[in-house]
Amino acid sequence: MPGNPSKIPNPQREEDMKAKLAKGESIETLDEMSDEYYDHLMNLMVQQADSELAGGFGYVPWIMKAPTTEEMLVVSNIVRDEVRHARAMYRLLEDARFGVDDWVEKMDFAFRVEDNQDLGDKRASGDKRVNIFYYPIESWADFVMFNFLMDRGAGHQLEDVKTSTYGPWRREIDRIFKEEKTHIAHGDYWVKRLALDGATKAEIQGSFERWWPRVMAIFGRPGSRKNKRYRELGLKSRDNDDVRRTFAKEVQDNADRWGLTVPKWIPDWQKVPEDSVIPG
């Protein structure tokens, strides 16, 4: 991605930015950003924009596959929300002189991997979507579990943006966050309904097993250097693992109420490589 297109000399711009951040003031324009701040901000905002768009595309088939006409309308509204969120983020990127149209034109946001493929924390394409959006949604249980887990996980991540030092992003998130809550509520309603019905409990538990490790990987590694720098610049406020634990506790509380079992999850960074295990 391109660097900060501002013409103000870098050293002076960085000193001025540090002074603003030290006083608790927002960054509002490109001219106030250091090159490093700009690069990190672009990475985070492109990741959100691409995720919103890829998510909306992944939901489109479920407009027709929804179980009732009422749900067809609900899903179409969710798709509309996600594409609108993407457009809002891309508009912020345009204001930051990021080449949005060229970027979107070269990416395939409808691309999905095979359902049995395990990406871990890796991406499968050149876009910056959170990698859970590469997996296909195969059933209605998958769709509502995705709302229940991923929309909730994204909501916990967006909480940090609500205190971001970049003012335009922070203000936009307030609007986006309200609609994301309705998506979470949709997932909660359906997961509870399917979990409490003996005829569908096994199916929704199966979706839980499939999506849980994928969503737990979206938060990133604990204590990462990049996350630490985000926090120093005020682009995030918590360590990756703090956000993940808050999210997991909320899911556990709901699962306990509805009789679902939270699947076990071992992070990639805690797994022992197979070639290091001495045969017994």
Q: How many CB atoms lie within 10 A of CB 268?
A: 12
Note down pLDDT in tens along the chain; length 280 residues. Answer: 555 665 555 778 889 999 999 999 999 999 999 999 999 999 999 999 999 999 999 999 999 999 999 999 999 999 999 999 999 999 999 999 999 999 999 999 999 999 999 898 889 999 999 999 999 999 999 999 999 999 999 999 999 999 999 999 999 998 898 899 999 999 999 999 999 999 999 999 999 999 999 999 999 999 999 999 999 999 999 999 999 999 999 999 999 999 999 999 988 877 755 454 444 4
CATH topology of domain 30-264: Ferritin (1.20.1260)
- The residues, any chain, with a CB within 8 Å of residue 84's CB and separated by 6 or more, are none
- Output the pLDDT for position 279: 45
Give alpha helix (H) positions in the chain. Answer: 10-22, 35-59, 61-65, 69-95, 100-105, 140-146, 152-161, 167-195, 201-216, 225-232, 240-258
> How far apart, in whole angstroms, are the C-alpha atoms of residue 119 and residue 123?
7
Q: How many CB atoms lie within 10 A of CB 253?
A: 10
> How far apart, in whole angstroms, are the C-alpha atoms of residue 87 and residue 52?
9
> How far apart, in whole angstroms, are the C-alpha atoms of residue 79 and residue 52?
9
> How far apart, in whole angstroms, are the C-alpha atoms of residue 121 and residue 123?
7
> How far apart, in whole angstroms, are the C-alpha atoms of residue 41 and residue 231?
12
Distances, alpha carbon 8 to alpha carbons 31, 32, 41, 239, in Å: 7, 9, 18, 32
Check if the beta carbon of residue 147 is closer than 8 Å to that of residue 59. Answer: no
The number of residues in the chain equals 280
- Output the pLDDT for position 4: 62
> How far apart, in whole angstroms, are the C-alpha atoms of residue 276 and residue 111?
35
- Output the pLDDT for position 13: 86
Q: Map out the domains of the chain as residue ranges.
A: 30-264
> How far apart, in whole angstroms, are the C-alpha atoms of residue 278 and residue 280?
6
> How far apart, in whole angstroms, are the C-alpha atoms of residue 109 and residue 125?
9
> How far apart, in whole angstroms, are the C-alpha atoms of residue 247 and residue 55?
20
